[in-house]
């Protein structure tokens, strides 16, 4: 049985930097929104109905071949550190852990697959893959969706498709997003123009943790805005094509940075590495900014003391919730910054 402790000690597969275009695209996530016929949407349902929906969905996930041995987390049984960890690992949204009855997360091994119960919709199925893999991620989610549908009666309209709590999800219910590291475009001053063009193509741009979050370290989430009027394959292809073009522009921007100031950039990268490898106290925001610069240097071959997978892990495991969970309860800011610095030094030393 996959446990929370196992999840904490075994980094998610999407952090491995093993997927296509991983030098720019950290991960791809495909999510399907579904609701059960005959039940009110979560925001209108009472507690009794929400708990009934949860048990129905959990019974279906227990029969899934794709979620065998999955970790089941019922929200009311968790503490604050656990909830923050789930958000920091991109498994659930901040809104999901904010409260509400009958919520649960079913998390498969390596965090490749997950099912969320009673978030905005009754069921949200998702897959997170390393690098740029919208089509592969969609096909995996489609397989588990078809399997779940044999045991669940989804709310579906012949005119509108799958019915969802939010109108922008009606139709296919699919949301395809990529987490991109666009620090080259940001440093070159082109990021606003490029992201503006992406928005005109019908895609939305958000921060590191998605909707409502700010961009940090040049990390952005890019996803489709609507799900009606196109097939799932077409939506996945569109995001893959645009994200591929975005990655190409980012690589060009990085080449320009090297051509115009390679020695200066290399100095910044090595200074960032020096701080991360030697600091005795460091904040989460500082890790994010320095790790972004280090990641750029690793991708450009300016530093070979560390690999992309290690940098990716640092972006997640140094977040406050992870440190709260690992060190029990609520450490002070000073204790947290000290523990974070210890963790960063240990991770970087393991690359030697």
- Domains of the chain, each with CATH number or no CATH: 4-250 (3.30.590.10), 260-349 (no CATH)
Phi, psi of 209 (to 5 degrees): -105, 20
What does the alpha-carbon distance between residue 150 and residue 147 come to, in Å, rounded to a whole number? Answer: 6
> In which element (H, E) is residue 44 found?
none
Residue 101 CA to chain centroid, in angstroms? 24
pTM (predicted TM-score): 0.92
Residue carrying the six token digits 């809104």: 95
What does the alpha-carbon distance between residue 3 and residue 96 come to, in Å, rounded to a whole number? Answer: 20
- Residue 28 near residue 133, CB atoms below 8 Å: yes
pLDDT tens series, the chain, 352 aa? 778 898 888 889 999 999 999 999 999 999 999 999 999 999 999 999 999 999 999 999 999 999 988 999 999 999 999 999 999 999 999 989 988 899 999 999 999 999 999 999 999 999 999 999 999 999 999 999 999 999 999 999 988 999 999 888 888 999 999 999 999 999 999 999 998 898 888 888 887 655 555 567 899 999 988 777 789 999 999 999 999 999 999 999 999 999 998 899 999 999 999 999 999 999 999 999 999 999 999 999 999 989 999 999 999 999 999 999 988 767 888 999 999 999 999 999 988 6
Q: Which of 6, 4, 22 minimizes the C-alpha distance to 84?
A: 4
């Amino acid at each position: 049985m996959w446990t929370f402790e196992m999840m904490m000690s075994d980094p998610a597969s999407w952090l491995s930097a093993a997927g296509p275009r991983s030098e720019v695209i950290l991960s791809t996530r495909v999510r399907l929104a579904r609701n059960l016929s005959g039940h009110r949407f979560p925001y209108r349902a009472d507690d009794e109905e929400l708990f009934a929906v949860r048990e129905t969905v959990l019974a279906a996930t227990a029969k899934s071949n794709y979620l065998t041995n999955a970790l089941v987390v019922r929200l009311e049984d968790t503490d604050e550190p656990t909830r923050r960890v789930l958000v920091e690992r991109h498994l659930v949204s901040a809104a999901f852990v904010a409260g509400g009855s009958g919520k649960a997360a079913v998390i498969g091994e390596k965090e490749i697959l997950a099912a969320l119960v009673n978030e905005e919709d009754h069921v949200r199925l998702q897959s997170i893959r390393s690098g740029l893999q919208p089509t592969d991620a969609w096909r995996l989610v489609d397989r588990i969706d078809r399997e779940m549908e044999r045991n669940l009666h989804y709310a579906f309209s012949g005119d509108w498709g799958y019915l969802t709590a939010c109108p922008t999800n009606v139709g296919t219910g699919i949301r395809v997003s990529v987490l991109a590291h666009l620090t080259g475009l940001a440093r070159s001053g082109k990021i606003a123009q490029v992201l503006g063009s992406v928005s005109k193509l019908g895609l939305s741009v958000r921060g590191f943790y998605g909707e409502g979050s700010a961009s940090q370290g040049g990390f952005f989430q890019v996803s489709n805005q609507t799900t009606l009027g196109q097939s799932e394959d077409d939506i996945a292809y569109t995001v893959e094509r645009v994200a591929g073009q975005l990655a190409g522009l980012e690589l060009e921007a990085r080449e320009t940075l090297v051509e115009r100031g390679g020695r200066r950039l290399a100095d910044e990268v090595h200074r960032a590495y020096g701080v991360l490898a030697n600091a005795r106290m460091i904040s989460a925001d500082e890790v994010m900014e320095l790790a972004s610069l280090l990641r750029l240097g690793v991708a450009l071959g300016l530093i070979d003391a560390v690999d992309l997978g290690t940098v990716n892990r640092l972006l997640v495991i140094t977040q406050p919730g992870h440190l709260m969970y690992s060190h029990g309860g609520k450490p002070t800011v000073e204790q947290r910054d000290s523990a974070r610095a210890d963790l960063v030094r240990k991770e970087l030393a393991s690359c030697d």
